[in-house]
Structure 1
Amino acid sequence: MNSTKTGALPQHELLTERSLWARLNGWDWLFAVAVVAMGLYAQFVFSEHHMDGYEVAILWGTVIGTVWLGWFFKPLRWYVPLVVLLAFVSVTLYGGRFDAGSEKFLLRYFLASQSAIMWQCALIFLALFCYVAGTLSAWRQHKSGNAFLDIGTGLAWAAAVMGLVGLLVRWHESYLLRPDAGHIPVSNLYEVFILFMVITGLMHLYYEGRFHMQRLGAFVYFFMAVLVGFVLWYSFARDAHQIQPLIPALQSWWMKIHVPTNFIGYGAFCMAAMFGVAELWKIKRPQATWLPEAAAIEEVMYKAIAVGFLFFTIATVLGALWAADAWGRYWSWDPKETWAFIVWLNYAVWLHMRLVAGWRGKVLAWWAVIGVFITAFAFLGVNMFLSGLHSYGTL
């Protein structure tokens, strides 16, 4: 019925979509059953790692979150089982002996943590090459898609698979090295950079598929290649890939939820900065048909910042709770906390200016680009140049 004739207000397109429950099919429910089975296996088979009540709660929160994400972002229905299968194969090949990693072919060259992470690094460079080649082809042929871009997407997925496999296997290896001191691999800069690349890669793949932004892959994976360069330098020059004991300040279950949540925010902010670069390019050269329209790029940039702001806010709250548990106070204006607040305030004002003041275009794009430098200083610069309670992630 025509809303103009009846006087009814037109509904927003999101309100006319079917609910999530109505969109579920048999594969979705099979995925949910598989993830729950993985959770049960992790709880009861790995009980020798002495999971306490908090860790069990984190495990099942992760299970529920993974099921929901798989229902929301359909490719995760194959991504998660594949990652878990490869990690399980690696754990089985180790057979409880850390030195098996240098003896067995699959472990040494593919499924040991360091091997998988090196594959992730190589695949990111290959993905960048294909995205750039695909973008150049789109520019010359005036087409939005081509085989190079599709291959780049496939390589980006492969990199995300190997990166997460590497982290899961590294977790197991930490227990093989020190059965009483194993820990989740988010305790130092090397480990969190791997997590950072996995999260950023997955987020880009979501936005790429959801909003048909394949041609922005060259911008995002150029940034990813810079991260790979740092990881390789940090690994070989500083021997950072060696698994180290967990320092007392990080021996807390809070780390398992605070750090991953934080890096969802970091990943979204950095990806938004690359979208900002693409928007500025399009604004300066509107005839560049190989790029999406500037308004479309900005919309995706806004969505990325909104998601990042949500998770960064949650991570900041979790960090305050952790501080209260560890030091007896929620906030101490430590340099890390101060710069976390500056990052939060920066993106809060960005969102306010877009949603309330109605700002659009070049100013917001530049703001997003500059924002990544503020974020980078909060992440790395504070540890390098300032000292405080969080000075345990130095280079």
Structure 2
Amino acid sequence: MNQTINNTEKLSGHALLAHKSFLRRLNIWDWLFALAATLTAVFAQLQISHRMDAYEVAILWFCAAAAVLLGWFFKPLRWFTPASLLSAYGAVQLYGGNIAHADRFLLKYFLSSQSAVMWQCATVFLALFCYIAGAFTAHRRQTATNTLLGIGTVLTWVSALAGFIGLLVRWHESYLLRPDAGHIPVSNLYEVFILFLVITALMYLYYESRFAVQKLGGFVLSFMAAVVVFVLWYSLSREAHTIQPLIPALQSWWMKIHVPANFIGYGAFCISAMLGIAELMALRNENAGKKSWLPDSQTIEEVMYKAIAVGFLFFTIATILGALWAADAWGRYWSWDPKETWAFIVWLNYAVWLHMRLVAGWRGKVLAWWAVIGLFITAFAFVGVNMFLSGLHSYGTL
């Protein structure tokens, strides 16, 4: 018996010795990607230094470092990021400093901000169809994956790529339209919904590859499709796609870091809600003794927990950044403005959810329902407050 324990301890020690540190697991492509990101940041600073103050230079280099770390952590971003930047740079060259060149073929049909966003919207629906059809086919043939599910994954990548290109090009277009009033495209509901779709797609794609849960794509993409419907309605009925001058309240470098952090949180919370629906369906099938076409409920809940944990982290960071921005703009960190109050409610909701899972040991149906209800709390904080309440954040109205 003692000999068995000693052998086990030796094996564990050998396993620890064989474990490589994060940096030692990096390959030549990772380091080339880091070099390319660094050179891109240098190029950007040299090209537009006249439009950047010290804070924006710091944000540029922070973004470059974050892109490198994300590319090392999630390998597909090593091609996604360069493809986005090169496509956007190609659009900038096609414009040639004149917005009238928007009728050029590649800009008109592919690379202008509105064309890229429309490709994003179209591929979301195509990906949704492939995920649903692929999940049905996989269940019927008793397989884990198939070509349709693979196509769904590819189309989701295309939607994220198109949306990110659209945002980058829209940023340049704002300077072409108003050289003295150009701004990062996260200033109104139309723009932040495009950002939301990009972030949600990328986060889902990471969890899909990490946990091999392609069959859950239909749940996440169905929510994204609902957002696309809203974006199309908002664009057609309110002409929200037109680039407007930035209002004084948003003319701050704080917006460049507060809004993206916020929407990482929103995207994660919305993914968790759709996974909550999937877990409830899986639990019902498991309790009835039926063979489910979904992954098992424990796997779904683990992905849901990971999403909420990441979302909570970034939402906390965004809330702190928002308080600092408020102190800079209004002279006080917190005003119990409706938007601030509901942001605190969202934060408290997921803080308690995490406490109940990690400390109280809750599992299963209660947490799944909680995640679904959390979507409505988050949606009201994001959109409902803007529609029905007024306050210091009323500039985001519909």
Is this a same-fold pair by TM over 0.5? Answer: yes
* Amino acid aligned to 1:40: V
Q: Where does the alignment leave 5 or more consecutive residues of structure 1 unmatched?
A: none
2:211 and 2:359 mapped to 1: Cα distance?
24
Instruction: Identify which range, 288-297 or 306-315, moves more after superposition.
Output: 288-297
C-alpha displacement of 1:233: 0.2
Q: Is the 8 Å Cα contact of residues 120 and 160 (structure 1) preserved in structure 2? A: yes
Matches within 5 A, 1:140-155: 140-155=140-155
Q: Is the 8 Å Cα contact of residues 139 and 288 (structure 1) preserved in structure 2? A: no
Is residue 90 of structure 1 aligned with residue 91 of structure 2?
yes
Q: Where does the alignment leave 5 or more consecutive residues of structure 2 unmatched?
A: none
Percent identity over the alignment?
Answer: 69
Runs of 4+ in 1 over 6 A off after TM superposition: 13-16
The alignment partner of 2:396 has SS state of coil
Q: Is the 8 Å Cα contact of residues 285 and 292 (structure 2) preserved in structure 1? A: no
* Amino acid aligned to 2:313: L
> TM-score of the superposition, structure 1-length normalised?
0.96
Is residue 337 of structure 1 aligned with residue 343 of structure 2?
no
Query: Partner residue of 1:51?
Result: 52
CA RMSD of aligned residues (A): 1.8
* Amino acid aligned to 1:289: S
> TM-score of the superposition, structure 2-length normalised?
0.96
2:341 and 2:39 mapped to 1: Cα distance?
42
Query: Partner residue of 1:261?
Result: 261
C-alpha displacement of 1:43: 0.7
Q: Is the 8 Å Cα contact of residues 350 and 364 (structure 1) preserved in structure 2? A: yes
CA shift digits 1:260-302 (9 cap, x unpaired): 0000000000000011010000001123432111001000100
C-alpha displacement of 1:4: 3.5
Q: Is the 8 Å Cα contact of residues 123 and 156 (structure 1) preserved in structure 2? A: yes
2:3 and 2:237 mapped to 1: Cα distance?
68
The alignment partner of 1:285 has SS state of helix
CA shift digits 1:350-395 (9 cap, x unpaired): 0000000000000000000000000000000001000000011111
Q: Is the 8 Å Cα contact of residues 208 and 214 (structure 2) preserved in structure 1? A: yes
* Amino acid aligned to 1:37: L
Change (3 A) 1:183 1:288: farther
Change (3 A) 1:338 1:15: farther
CA shift digits 1:287-339 (9 cap, x unpaired): 34321110010001000000000000000000000000000000010000000
C-alpha displacement of 1:8: 5.8
1:3 and 1:40 mapped to 2: Cα distance?
58
C-alpha displacement of 1:6: 7.1
* Amino acid aligned to 1:179: P
Q: Is the 8 Å Cα contact of residues 144 and 290 (structure 1) preserved in structure 2? A: no
Matches within 5 A, 1:1-395: 4-5=5-6, 17-48=19-50, 50-101=51-102, 103-286=103-286, 287-395=290-398
> How many pairs were matched up?
392
* Amino acid aligned to 1:100: H
Change (3 A) 1:191 1:3: farther
Change (3 A) 1:377 1:5: same
